[in-house]
């Protein structure tokens, strides 16, 4: 029987988004699994497999799925392993042979795995804002900061499959500790969690300053965004600070791959009205003159779920 469909899965720190995709790149059905309630890989894989089987059954597509493509933090395209992913409660220590485990749980259906940001880059290059671009960097701003580097139309994996961990380059020397254990990582400042940490620190450091954020018991990046929309001075300054850090790091990234564009994707990218100006100012102030005002800053044109699902699903067509 012909198998004209594939599954695409985007695994994040909070949820796993799953979808059935056809050859035209249409997401025919999708669902979400909460991923942070599992403490070990076997229980998460079993829950994911049951979710996928139900999705296939409900779509009446049993026996018509060619394979599964997965995007996950620290996913290794070469080995099919997830290695020490700090934002995954069930995979933050050791190596998880995820592709093999999921294949077995899905009755030996073939599975391909890559980094979640690489998957998003492929989806954006095929269907979204990066369509037609051969050289760009995808930056995902979610629970963490991920990246996918595309050079000459190909995702850069490096010799071991882990190239492009730009979220764990040093943005602030001697800065706050990141979930990976290092100090000053870009992720520690410019992820959704990083923005919330900045808010908590600033509220503590400036007790005399009034802010809508003081009305929140546990401040989130969404709270900061909503406060900024309401004109809150501290919230606006937090985004100015975050955007400046991103821009300085982007200037460094431009120096090693000379991209046509940097594409931002993920929940925090929704705050583009507050991030764009400080990013561009800091980026152009710190980049070599030959690239100043030359590299475009783009935002994903795909829905947050579709981009990653489509990118991950693209891996499955060649299985």
Residue with tokens 């025919």: 28
User: Residues 199, 219: contact at Cβ < 8 Å?
Assistant: yes
* Cα–Cα distance, 61 to 283 (Å, whole number): 48
* Cα–Cα distance, 131 to 152 (Å, whole number): 13
Domains of the chain (ranges, CATH numbers): 5-121+305-318 (3.30.420.40), 132-301 (3.30.420.40)
Q: What is the pLDDT of residue 311?
A: 87
- The structure tokens listed for 309 are 């699902």
Residue 182 φ then ψ, to 5°: -80, 170
* Cα–Cα distance, 41 to 100 (Å, whole number): 12
CA atoms within 13 A on the CB side of 112: 21
| Consecutive 10-residue averages of pLDDT for the chain (319 residues) | 89 91 92 89 96 97 96 92 88 90 98 91 88 96 92 94 93 95 97 97 96 94 98 98 98 97 94 98 97 96 80 88
Q: What is the pLDDT of residue 269?
A: 94
Q: What is the pTM of this model?
A: 0.85
User: Residues 141, 267: contact at Cβ < 8 Å?
Assistant: yes
Q: What is the pLDDT of residue 204?
A: 96
Residue with tokens 């520690």: 188
CA atoms within 13 A on the CB side of 255: 12
Q: Which long-range contacts (CB under 8 A, 24 or more apart) does 216-221 make?
A: 220/192, 220/196, 221/192, 221/193, 221/195, 221/196, 221/267, 221/268, 221/271
Residue 106 φ then ψ, to 5°: -100, 30
* DSSP conformation letters of 160-221: TS----GGGSBSSTT-PBPTTS-BSBHHHHHSHHHHHHHHHHHHHH-TTS--GGGG-SS--H
According to DSSP H, which parts of 59-164 are helical? 98-105, 116-127
- Secondary structure percentages of the chain, helix, strand, coil, to 5: 45, 20, 35
Q: What is the pLDDT of residue 198?
A: 98
Q: What is the pLDDT of residue 305?
A: 65
Q: Rounded to whole angstroms, what are the CA distances from 96 to 79, 105, 225, 230?
A: 10, 14, 35, 44
Q: What is the pLDDT of residue 1?
A: 57
* Cα–Cα distance, 184 to 76 (Å, whole number): 24
Q: Which long-range contacts (CB under 8 A, 24 or more apart) does 132-136 make?
A: 133/260, 133/261, 134/260, 135/257, 135/258, 135/259, 135/260, 136/259, 136/260, 136/261, 136/262, 136/263, 136/298
């Amino acid at each position: 029987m012909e198998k004209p469909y594939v599954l695409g899965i985007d695994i994040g720190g909070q949820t796993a988004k799953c979808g059935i995709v056809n050859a035209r790149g249409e997401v025919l059905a999708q669902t979400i699994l909460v991923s942070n309630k599992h403490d070990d890989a076997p229980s998460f894989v079993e829950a994911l497999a049951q979710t996928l089987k139900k999705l296939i059954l409900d779509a009446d597509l049993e026996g018509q799925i060619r394979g599964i493509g997965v995007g996950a933090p620290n996913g290794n395209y070469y080995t099919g392993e997830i290695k020490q992913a700090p934002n995954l409660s069930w995979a933050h220590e050791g190596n998880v042979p995820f592709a093999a485990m999921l294949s077995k749980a899905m009755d030996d259906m073939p599975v391909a795995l890559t980094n979640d940001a690489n998957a998003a880059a492929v989806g954006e290059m095929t269907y979204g804002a990066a369509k037609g671009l051969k050289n760009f960097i995808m930056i995902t701003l979610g629970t963490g900061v991920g990246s996918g580097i595309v050079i000459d139309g190909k995702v850069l994996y490096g010799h071991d499959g882990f190239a492009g961990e730009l979220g764990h380059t040093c943005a602030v020397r001697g800065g706050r500790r990141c979930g990976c254990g290092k100090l000053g990582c870009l992720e520690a400042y410019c992820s959704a969690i990083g923005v919330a940490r900045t808010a908590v620190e600033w509220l503590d450091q400036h007790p005399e300053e009034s802010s809508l954020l003081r009305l929140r018991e546990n401040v989130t990046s969404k709270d900061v965004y909503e406060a900024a929309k309401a004109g809150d001075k501290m919230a606006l300054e937090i985004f100015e600070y975050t955007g400046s850090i991103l821009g300085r790091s982007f200037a460094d990234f431009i120096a090693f791959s000379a991209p046509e564009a940097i594409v931002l994707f993920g929940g925090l990218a929704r705050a583009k009205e507050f991030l764009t100006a400080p990013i561009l100012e800091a980026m152009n102030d710190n980049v070599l003159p030959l690239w100043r005002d030359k590299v475009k800053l783009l935002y994903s044109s795909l829905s947050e779920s579709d981009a990653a699902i489509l990118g991950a699903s693209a891996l499955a067509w060649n299985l």
